Amino acid sequence: MSFSLYLKNKISKNKINRSDLIAQLNLYHKEFNNLDAITFSRWITNKTTPSPYKQILISNYFNDDPVVFIKNNITTKKESKLVINLFDKVMNNIESSYSNISYFHSNEEPEYIIDILDDENYNNLFLDYYMNFSTYQELYHLYKIKNIKKNYICVMKKKNGVISSHLSLMKLDENLSYLMSDFFNTDITSEFFINLGYIEDRESYLFMTALVFYFFYKNSIRYFTCLIRSEFLEFLTTLPYEQIGTAYADNDRKLYLIRADFLDILSNPFILRNFNKVLSEHDNSLDQFFSADLIKASEDRKRLIQQNLQL
């Protein structure tokens, strides 16, 4: 179904007139601040199509499942060659780098898992890696001084039981958000923070980021911030990521902060194509890669949100 037909059906089903819907969208999100009757009419008649981000926002306004919407109703533009070329440039550099040549070889299919780890288990696995970065040396010192304990959502790729790639993210409560904002000297108010990770190749990157996005989808998470290396900056800011803060010197490296709305990222044709591809290859569900502990934590979170909505 085209987006114009989707919009017509929504107007008819909800028995809402166009003027009222335009007024409500004006208030709903800043993307619709300048929406007028002429533009809206052109969307309805399929003479023009709003951006994929606006389309997903409208589906979100109607409380529709975003993954069902992007599979059945979204109208997208052709993928940008610039995005594809920048992605290939980053991945070619990673895949050919000397530091990525491993003595370890396996012909077995890799195993992917997304799990929830407490501080102790997380540090047992990854502390040595993060101590290569002065930024994390300072952050871990602050965590210890302020006695901050937290859980991490970790996406791991394993070969013969050995971790070969990983991504991790943590939920920002008020105290942790304040600490991170003060440390990086910029406002960090998103719900989750994605740490530096280690990716060995493009297959790992595409699959592991799809798992992160699926986690956001399953838990209705919208806004997140990432700490990235300089080699990823141009590629990711060509997608709908916004750089915040400044360049952060880390030994001989530069690190950057970027933030995004998950729905905005999902609407990008490059991301959308890969996300749909990964879903289609696994019967439209990635739940099989989630640990039992993470599934339980997600269910507990949903119950808490539902209870708060009923208050």
Q: What's the predicted TM-score (pTM) here?
A: 0.93
Identify the domain boundary among 73, 90, 119: 73
* Rg of the chain on CA atoms, in Å: 21
Other Cβ atoms less than 10 A from the Cβ of 145: the count is 8
Q: Report which of residues 271 and 298 the model is more confident about.
A: 271
Residues 49, 131, single domain; the answer is: no
Residues 198, 181, single domain; the answer is: yes
Instruction: Give all strands of the β-sheet with 192-194 in edge-to-edge order.
Output: 111-117, 152-159, 162-171, 192-194, 223-229, 253-261, 242-250
Residues 202, 138, single domain; the answer is: yes
Which pLDDT tens digit goes with each residue over 65-89? 999 999 999 999 888 999 999 999 9
Identify the domain boundary among 53, 73, 93: 73
CATH code of the domain in which 248 resides: 3.40.630
User: What residues make up the domain containing 207?
Assistant: 81-309
Number of domains present in the structure of the chain: 2
Residues 143, 279, single domain; the answer is: yes
Which pLDDT tens digit goes with each residue over 132-166? 999 999 999 999 999 999 999 999 999 988 999 99
- Among residues of the chain, what percentage have pLDDT more than 70? 95
Q: Indicate the Cα dihedral angle 116, 259, 223, 60, nearest 10°.
A: -130
Contact 296, 107 (CB under 8 A): no
Residues 99, 224, single domain; the answer is: yes
Residues 124, 207, single domain; the answer is: yes
Residues 205, 282, single domain; the answer is: yes
- Exposed e or buried b per residue across 90-114, where buried means at least 16 C-beta atoms within 10 angstroms of its C-beta: bbeebeeeeeeeeeeeeeeebebbb
Q: Residue 303: which pLDDT band, with cuts at 50, 70 and 90?
A: confident
Q: Residue 101: which pLDDT band, with cuts at 50, 70 and 90?
A: low
Write down the pLDDT at residue 169: 97
Residues 9, 126, single domain; the answer is: no
Which pLDDT tens digit goes with each residue over 196-228? 999 999 999 999 999 999 999 999 999 999 999
Residues 244, 265, single domain; the answer is: yes
**Interatomic CA distance for residues 111 and 109, integer angstroms:** 7
Residue pointed to by tokens 């929830």 = 116
Structure-block tokens of residue 91: 């991945």
Residue 266 has pLDDT above 70, yes or no: yes
Write down the pLDDT at residue 311: 45
Which region, left, alpha or beta, applies to residue 15 given φ > 0 means left and ψ of -120 to 50 means alpha? left
Residues 242, 124, single domain; the answer is: yes
Residues 28, 109, single domain; the answer is: no
Residues 52, 172, single domain; the answer is: no
